[in-house]
Amino acid sequence: MGSLKEVAPVTSGSDPSSKSGFLATSADWLINWSRKNSLWPMPLGLSCCGIELMALLGPKFDLARFGAEAARFTPRQCDLMLVAGTLTWKMAQAARTIYDQMPDPKWVIAMGVCSSTGGMYDSYAVVQGVDSILPVDVYVPGCPPRPDAVIDAIIKLQKKIARDKPVRRLLAKSAGPEIDEGTGRLDHQPNAAVLHALADRHPHDPRAQQPIADRVPRPTPGDAAWFVGNPAVGGIAEAPARVTEALAGLDARPLPSNDGTPLFGVARERLREAFERLRRAGFDQSTFVTAVDHLHVGLPPVEPRFEVLWQFRSYHRDPGHRDASQARGDSVRLACRVRSDDAWVPTCCDLWPGANFSEREVFDMFGVRFDGHPDLRRLLMPDDYGHHPLRKDFPQQGIEPDRLYRQWDRERRARWLSGEAERLAAAGDGADQQQPDAQQPAGRRVFEYAPGAATDPREVAASLGGDDPLHGELMKLNMGPQHPATHGVLRLVMTLDGETMVDADPVVGYLHRGKEKTCETLGWHKFFPHTDRLDYVQSLGNNVGYALALEKLAGIEAPPRAQVIRVLICELSRIMAHLIYISAASIDLGAVTVFFLMFKERERLYDIMDAYTGHRMNNTYVRIGGVYADIDDRVTAAAHEFLDTFPALLAEVDKLLTRNRIWVDRNRDVGVLTAEQAIALSLTGPSLRGSGVEHDLRRAQPYSGYEQYDFDVPVGSVGDAYDRYLVRMEEMRQSVRICKQALDKLEHVKGDVLLEDHRFVLPPKGRVHESMEELIYQFKIVTDLRLPRGQAYHAVEAAKGELGFYVVSDGSSRPVRCHIRAPGLMNVQALPHISRGRLLSDMVALIGSMDFVMGEVDR
């Protein structure tokens, strides 16, 4: 009987003859009722699911009905942690810290497959299910789950809370030794058993790592140290005169490329000279810096192993290239091969400040050092990570990916058990809120755009402070990775003089999921869903960019109708992305209602996307050689209706923001970038056009038939946050124009939406079900798509700027390299330059105005 009582205490509690039992039950009921109806969430919006989480708070779903809309960004006031999105091991420390800082009782909902199981990211950076670090109450499947599913999870959680016996727990607590569930005793967590069970056969277990033999024997690069493209497809592009002049006498060797961009191989000793001459020749922007590892696992080592690549663009028009091939004269690509035992190249970020982050990324991912770089730290992985993930001999699932987290966890628990934290805090060295690793590596210099300016934070502060007697007392303030204004998981370590920002150091990589590595593992075709989750507020636009790069490499072109559909979905995606920009920027500056207006409108776009693709976001509807399915009349009718009514909303936003004195004051003259600075910082898209540079890839290098559409490219005049806002507002109006033209075109451009080419293109799904041959083709293309040997770069004008894919194929089914040129990363990079000397409050406006999505920044 005794044991029965323990197992089922409900019987004694609900016994009406026992008065105390009745009281306890009533109290239980009241407490549970209040708890379940007042679940204030901690929105840990990590990635795509965060956008659906915002939609959940928005007009259509309205989480407020359950009393659960009061999202608090300080963990102290939350009851429910909503882990929405992909948790990386780098972010895990912060997530765990936040969870520990929440007061009891607290619950966790794992929203989406990534937080439930790791989802599609079986990579070296991603936690394979948040239940390995947090006790999860409800799991929500979906990628991302629709908001309805999360509401269902909330209701399930309410039922779970209703079963609790809080009074008994209170009494038990006061009687026995205190069990502090909220301070990190992993063993006391409900899922601890799961964790221990997983420890042995976790995919990340180093013992589980088996070398994967290549299915296709790869060609050895041979004695030619350069990667030779396919002359049948690409061939050596003709370089404009100024490039050949600039590189004359440097032994620059023209190499074939598949995209028409002149490519030169330059020896390391001559690189520095080549950079300087190209800079003088008018190449004023660094488009990307990346590298390719030519090692083949299973084959003898190749030396020189690493090929480092630079691409530069010129915004100074070359007078000799006024014709249609103008675009070709705009860019030049350099390549240099280095040995793995001597992996370094000279830096170029003194000439092109925008190359700073790219070089750090190459260093992080490949271990190639950049000689002369002022601040060569890891960019995406934690500082003491110890591996270079994009090297070919690094396994996809990583080597002990959780090592740093476990180490941190052990130390944290030891500290907590020994009471050291209390002592430290008493000594005035308290652990800061949400600050897992506040220590900066020593010797970081302020990286300055203007040459000759002060580089020591103290000097900068002195130059800003004037004769203020209080200046010079610097304070470090950590913002993020979980902060309401950082749009996801950006972290900014700011040095403040009072409220004036002296320096801001963006720390990215908290959402680095290892996409480029994943592409090498998965193959070309299976990577499509991953492109959706780059800039997840405009998924289809990313699909198009990736498909175009692959088509360039394959030498094919989508049929006309597919191109029109691509333009339509690109522009609708742009509107979706800019709506997110307006909503995020306005909520940061306190205009909360605008946020909801935007989401009301986005819901209409979601409905259109849902009708066309079957999912609200992350649609994956573009394929090599076209789009998955034709657009039907109901979708076009819905799009027409949306486009007719959407400008009315923009007019309303004009009233609420554009002509609002407070909004203007908050944005005008904040974060001014001159055209020259914007170009040098590698900015593209609205951030560049806000500074008055009329450069739009839809105009400069038209793709998918953009040259047939009539639209304007708005540019700003001052280059401040307000200009960037106006540019984006106008771009939405122009997108409406383009969409309308595309819809008109759809009326008379008929035909297939998918190319008939069994080498690269999936057969239409309908035929797959009927024909054996088509099924075989489908199988071959999905599992074994081989693109011709070569390399190609293709960029599209995404909402954030130039979204480029640099793809390298060796003719086998395994991609050699897929580098994603993320415009958002460059926007983040610009933050320190435009924030210096401004007030802390301006940082919020600046983050909003630079408009980045961390999924794309971190990749």
Binding residues vs another protein (CB under 8 A)? 30-31, 33-35, 37-38, 58-59, 62, 64-67, 69-70, 72-74, 76-77, 79, 101, 103-105, 166, 182, 421-422, 424-426, 428-433, 475, 477, 483-485, 499, 586-593, 596-597, 600, 656-657, 660, 662-663, 665-666, 839-844
Q: What angle do CA 817, 818, 819 make, to 5 degrees?
A: 110
Distance CA 310, CA 265 (A): 10
**What is the maximum span of the chain, computed from C-alpha positions, in angstroms?**
101
CB 375 within 8 A of CB 505: no
Nearest distance from C-beta of residue 111 to another protein, angstroms: 20
User: Measured between alpha carbons, how far is 594 from 187 in angstroms, rounded to an integer?
Assistant: 45
Helix (H/G/I), strand (E/B), else coil: 843: helix
Give min distance, CB of 187 to another protein, in A: 20
CB of 831 to another protein, least distance (A): 15
- Residues 837 and 496: their CA atoms lie apart, in Å, by 9
Q: Which two tokens stand for residue 471?
A: 């200046």
Q: Give the CA distances from residue 106 to residues 66, 101, 134, 158, in Å, rounded to whole numbers and listed in that order.
A: 17, 10, 11, 12
Written as one letter, the residue type at 642 is F
Comparison of 67 and 298: residue with beta carbon closer to another protein: 67
Residues 293, 286: Cα–Cα separation, whole Å: 21
Question: Which is nearer to another protein, 333 or 483 (by Cβ)?
Answer: 483
What residues does 801 pair with on adjacent strands?
798
Nearer to another protein, 657 or 822 (CB): 657
The pair of three-digit structure tokens given for residue 354, joined into one six-digit string: 């925008």
Q: How far is the CB of 38 from another protein (least distance, A)?
A: 4
- Give the C-alpha separation, 179 to 186, whole Å: 12
User: Which C-beta is closer to another protein: that of 663 or that of 805?
Assistant: 663
Identity of the amino acid at 7 = V
**CB 800 within 8 Å of CB 853:** yes
Coil, helix or strand for 339?
A: coil
Specify the 3-state DSSP secondary structure of 334. strand
Distance separating alpha carbons of residues 133 and 432, to the nearest angstrom: 21
Asked if 195 and 405 count as a contact pair (C-beta separation under 8 A), the reply is no
Nearer to another protein, 226 or 596 (CB): 596
Name the residue type at position 587: I
Task: Find out whether 749 and 560 touch, Cβ atoms under 8 Å.
Answer: yes
HEC profile for 155-206? Answer: HHHHHHHHCCCHHHHHHHHHHCCCCCHHHCCHHHCCCHHHHHHHHHHCCCCH
Q: Give the residue carrying structure tokens 């679940």.
A: 39
Q: Which residues are CB-neighbours of 597 under 8 A, at least 6 positions away?
A: 649, 652, 653, 656
At a CB cut-off of 8 Å and minimum separation 6, what does 481 contact? 91, 94, 434, 489, 490, 491, 507, 510
Compare residues 57 and 537 and give the one whose CB is closer to another protein: 57
- For another protein, the closer CB: 65 or 765: 65
**Beta pairing, strands 80-84 & 107-111:** parallel
Distance of closest approach, residue 132 Cβ to another protein, in angstroms:
25
Is there a contact between 797 and 813 (Cβ–Cβ < 8 Å)?
Answer: no
Say how far apart CA 828 and CA 836 lie, in whole Å: 14
Smallest distance from another protein to CB 665, Å: 6
Measure the CA dihedral 481/482/483/489, to 10°: 50
| Cα three-residue angle 285-291-295, rounded to 5 degrees | 170
